[in-house]
């Protein structure tokens, strides 16, 4: 396939540059099928292919040698500590990129390498040097002492094509731009005041989804008194509906075709965002579009933009036609409207971006991040509870003690559900939603673990490996929520304890941490309070992980469900 693509492209290059070929194609008297012309073209194409390949190979090979020597040259010229050791097995040109094409997910692969090479080492992904840190001490050095140095993000084709040319603030390499938009996001979405205002939306969407689930059971239960439900998909639909309403102020109608297409595009967006794209590692390969990533990204970006542009236009018209906003309207104001107003108020040049690009990119970034990470954690959490029925029973008993059997769990109840909180902590420890964190890039030289890290080095913090460190966590691969009442009682997930950093830490810590924790606790509490769950198979629940930026369960979570106390909830209108 690659050879055919190269041949085709080189043919076009030669065809464009050699007039006789163009004449042969245009003139009916001269046919490329003639033996002479056919042989000449084939020979010329072959020569061009060999020359092209040899040139690029030499260029990349000597570039590879220069990359290897750069660490030593830098060290000797600066007289500083040596660079972190490079893992063996690097191939010319592609480096360690071939390792990522295997069946093992990247965080476990790099975790195995850390077991062999230590908690700090480097790998080479094409032209990019990547520092991999795999214990709490090294992570703390990167995200506290050197937090400013690692505050930026590396550029990628996904951020360019699907992030409105780097207007996605969460992945933007422009630190000053990220800082400005971050202020607005914190104020309008992540502040305590805004969280309280949005609580009614979360409760309303959750109630609606649980009501639909109960109706579905009532209609399809049959003689078994249970129905089979893919809870991974159920969580995804709920979170997306909840997030779309918070950010855009819209709600899809049941069965709406627009919803189906939008959800599919969001799924593609998340998958492509976390893909290892060959041209990100070796920029000279972009023209070949190996794997068709560029084509897929452009298509996905266009599909999402059509929907988001429509919502933006609705908010703009509403703002222009409304002279006065009363208190109730302000509380129900979607994040997109608030963001649009704030961006217009900025006194700066918007860092080269248009107002529309900033608003659309920011809303899309928040939507994708919230929907994927929350869905992943809820799916893993319920899978772990079904696999550990004793823990599930204890969680249900705690909820009944503090809530009773005649109503849904409310946000005001969550502070009393300490065992549920421990379950969510343990779920995020075992299956962090972002197991490798989002990549960072150094903007200056720094020292990590006694090693010199040159400017331009990318950083992977292996959160999964840190949270499975046997020197910190007893029985690190076991699901033991009780550990957070004993030896790990003081550890939380808010970025201050580097043994447990599922939301990251430092300047680039996840802004949705507060709203994410609220949503996780509220949804998981209500679903296990209202329903009983059972594995339909005699085999253990499949806990296979998927590659990508977000650690989603690779397979559906199909469970048999039946109500526990839902008929008493008075959820379904008469």
pLDDT in tens, 188-206: 887 777 888 888 899 999 9
Say whether both 75 and 166 belong to one domain: no
Residue 542 has pLDDT above 90, yes or no: yes
Residues 170 and 66 both lie in one domain: no
What mean pLDDT do residues 368-394 have?
A: 96
The mean-pLDDT minimum among 149-153, 470-474, 514-518 falls in 514-518
Mean pLDDT of the chain: 84
Q: What is the pLDDT of residue 488?
A: 94
In a domain, 55, yes or no: yes
Dmax over CA atoms of the chain, in Å, equals 91
Same domain? 367 vs 228: yes
Q: Are residues 175 and 51 in the same domain?
A: no
Q: Which of 17-26, 105-114, 125-134, 178-187 has the lowest mean pLDDT?
A: 17-26
Q: What is the pLDDT of residue 259?
A: 80
User: pLDDT at residue 18 above 50?
Assistant: no
Distance CA 273, CA 289 (A): 16
Domain termination residue (choose one: 37, 56, 79):
79
pLDDT of 299 reads 96
Assess if residue 371 is contained within a domain: yes
Decide: residue 199, CB within 10 A, 0-12 exposed, 13-18 middle, 19+ buried.
middle
SS3 call for 67: helix
- pLDDT of residue 460 exceeding 70, the answer is yes
Q: Please report whether residue 86 resides in a domain.
A: no
DSSP notation for 50-65: HHHHHHHHHHHHHHHH
Q: Could you tell me if 67 and 172 lie in one domain?
A: no
Residue 446 in marked binding region = no
Judged against a pLDDT cut of 60, whether residue 13 lies above it is answered with: no
| pLDDT of 346 | 83
- In this prediction, residue 103 carries a pLDDT of 82
pLDDT tens, position by position, 34-71: 332 333 333 333 434 444 444 455 444 544 444 444 44
> How many other C-beta atoms lie within 10 A of the C-beta of residue 522?
22
Q: With the C-alpha atoms ordered 430, 434, 435, 437, is the resulting torsion angle positive or negative?
A: negative
More reliable by pLDDT, 52 or 497 = 497
pLDDT greater than 90 at residue 439: yes
Expressed as residue numbers, the domain containing 293 is: 162-569
Residue 143 located in a structural domain: no
Categorize the per-residue pLDDT at 566 as very low, low, confident or very high, splitting at 50, 70 and 90. Answer: low
Q: Do residues 452 and 80 make contact, with C-beta atoms less than 8 angstroms apart? A: yes
Give the confidence band of 364 by pLDDT, cuts at 50, 70, 90: very high
Of 424, 431, 429, residue with least CA distance to 528: 424
CB neighbour burial string for 201-234, b if at least 16 within 10 angstroms, e if fewer? bbbebbeebbebbbeebeeeeeeeebbebebbeb
Q: What pLDDT is stored for residue 547 in this prediction?
A: 86
Residues 68 and 167 in one domain: no
- Other beta carbons within 10 angstroms of residue 298's beta carbon come to 12
pLDDT at 243: 92
Judge whether 115 lies within some domain: no
- On whether residue 123 sits in a domain, the answer given is no
Share of the chain above pLDDT 70, in %: 81
In this prediction, residue 72 has a pLDDT band, given cuts at 50, 70 and 90, of very low
With a cut of 50, say whether residue 21 has pLDDT above it.
Answer: no
Greater confidence (55 vs 485) lies with: 485
Q: Which is it for strands 128-133 and 458-461: parallel, antiparallel or unpaired? A: parallel
**Percent of the chain having pLDDT more than 90?**
65
For the cut 90, the answer to whether the pLDDT of residue 11 exceeds it is no
- What is the Cα gyration radius of the chain? 27
Tell me the whole-structure pTM to 2 decimals.
0.85
Would you state the structure tokens that stand for residue 330, as one six-digit string?
Answer: 């302000």
Q: Which residues pair with 86 in a beta bridge?
A: 122
- Number of domains observed in the structure of the chain: 2
CATH number reported for the structural domain that contains residue 288 in this entry = 1.10.630.10
Q: What angle do CA 107, 112, 115 make, to 5 degrees?
A: 125
Q: Is the pLDDT of residue 27 over 80?
A: no
Domain boundary (79, 107, 125) is at: 79
Question: What is the strand order of the sheet 128-133 is part of?
Answer: 120-125, 128-133, 458-461, 440-441
User: Lowest-pLDDT range, 126-130, 222-226, 411-415?
Assistant: 222-226
Q: Evaluate whether residue 142 is within a structural domain.
A: no
Nearest-angstrom CA–CA distance, 500 and 434:
12
> Is 516 found in the same domain as 391?
yes
Check: CB of residue 18 under 8 Å from CB of residue 45. Answer: no
CA 227, 230, 232, 233 torsion: positive or negative? negative
Strand pairing class (227-230; 440-441):
unpaired
Residues 418 and 545 in one domain: yes
Instruction: Find, among 395, 391, 412, 413, the residue nearest to 403 by Cα.
Output: 413
The answer to whether residues 561 and 462 belong to one domain is yes
Say which residue, 3 or 264, is predicted with more confidence. 264
Does residue 166 share a domain with residue 74?
A: no
Same domain, 56 and 196: no
Confidence of residue 569 (pLDDT cuts 50, 70, 90): low
Q: Which residues contact 389 (CB under 8 A, 6 or more apart)?
A: none
Q: Are residues 414 and 300 both part of a single domain?
A: yes
Say if residue 447's pLDDT is above 80.
yes
At 333, is the pLDDT very low, low, confident or very high (cuts 50, 70, 90)?
confident
> Residue 140 pLDDT > 50, yes or no?
yes
Does 458 fall in a domain?
yes
The per-residue pLDDT for range 399-433, each reduced to its tens digit, is 999 999 889 999 999 999 999 999 999 999 999 99
Using the 3D structure, point to which of 79, 114, 145 is the last residue of a domain: 79
């Amino acid at each position: 396939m690659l050879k055919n693509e190269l041949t085709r492209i080189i043919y076009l290059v030669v065809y464009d540059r050699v007039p006789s070929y163009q004449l042969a194609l245009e003139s009916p008297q001269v046919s490329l099928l003639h033996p002479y012309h056919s042989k000449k073209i084939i020979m010329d194409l072959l020569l061009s292919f060999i020359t092209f390949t040899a040139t690029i190979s030499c260029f990349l090979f000597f570039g590879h040698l220069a990359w290897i020597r750069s660490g030593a040259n830098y060290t000797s010229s600066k007289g500083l500590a040596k660079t972190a050791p490079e893992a063996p097995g690097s191939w010319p040109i592609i480096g360690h990129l071939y390792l990522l094409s295997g069946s093992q997910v990247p965080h476990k692969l790099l975790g195995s390498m850390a077991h062999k090479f230590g908690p700090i080492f480097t790998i080479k992904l094409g032209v990019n040097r990547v520092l991999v840190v795999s214990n709490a001490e090294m992570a703390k050095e990167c995200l506290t002492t050197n937090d400013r140095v690692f505050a930026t993000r590396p550029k990628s084709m996904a951020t360019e094509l699907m992030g409105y040319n780097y207007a996605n603030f969460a992945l933007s390499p422009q630190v000053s731009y990220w800082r400005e938009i971050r202020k607005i996001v914190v104020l309008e979405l992540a502040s305590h005041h805004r969280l309280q205002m949005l609580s009614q939306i979360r409760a309303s969407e959750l109630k609606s989804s649980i009501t639909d689930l109960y109706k579905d059971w009532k209609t399809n239960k049959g003689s078994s008194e249970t129905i089979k439900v893919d809870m991974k998909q159920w969580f995804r639909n709920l979170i997306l509906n909840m997030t779309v309403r918070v950010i855009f102020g819209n709600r899809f109608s049941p069965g709406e075709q627009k919803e189906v297409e939008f959800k599919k595009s969001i799924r593609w967006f998340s998958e492509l965002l976390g893909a290892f794209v060959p041209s990100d590692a070796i920029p000279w390969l972009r023209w070949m579009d190996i794997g068709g990533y560029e084509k897929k990204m452009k298509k996905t970006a266009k599909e999402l933009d059509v929907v988001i542009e429509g919502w933006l236009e609705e908010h703009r018209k509403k703002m222009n036609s409304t002279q006065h906003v009363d208190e109730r309207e302000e509380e129900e104001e979607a994040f997109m409207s608030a963001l649009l107003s704030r961006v217009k108020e900025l006194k700066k040049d918007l860092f080269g971006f248009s107002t529309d690009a900033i608003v659309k990119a920011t809303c899309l970034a928040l939507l994708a991040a919230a929907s994927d990470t929350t869905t992943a954690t809820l799916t893993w959490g319920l899978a772990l509870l079904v696999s550990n029925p004793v823990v599930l029973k204890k969680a249900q008993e705690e909820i009944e003690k503090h809530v009773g059997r005649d109503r849904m769990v409310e946000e005001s109840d969550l502070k009393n559900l300490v065992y549920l909180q421990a379950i969510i902590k343990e779920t995020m420890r075992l299956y962090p939603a972002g197991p490798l964190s989002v990549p960072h890039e150094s903007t200056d030289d720094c020292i990590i673990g006694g090693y010199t890290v040159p400017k331009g080095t990318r950083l992977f913090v292996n959160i999964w490996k840190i949270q499975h460190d046997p020197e910190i966590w007893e029985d690190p691969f076991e699901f033991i929520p009780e550990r957070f009442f004993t030896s790990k009682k003081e550890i939380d997930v808010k970025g201050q304890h580097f043994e447990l950093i599922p939301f990251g830490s430092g300047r680039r810590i996840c802004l949705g941490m507060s709203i994410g924790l609220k949503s996780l606790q509220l949804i998981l509490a209500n679903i296990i309070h209202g329903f009983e769950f059972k594995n339909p198979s005699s085999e253990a629940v499949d806990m296979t992980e998927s590659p990508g930026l977000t650690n989603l369960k690779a397979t559906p979570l199909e469970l048999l469900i039946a109500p526990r106390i839902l008929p008493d909830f008075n959820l379904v209108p008469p």
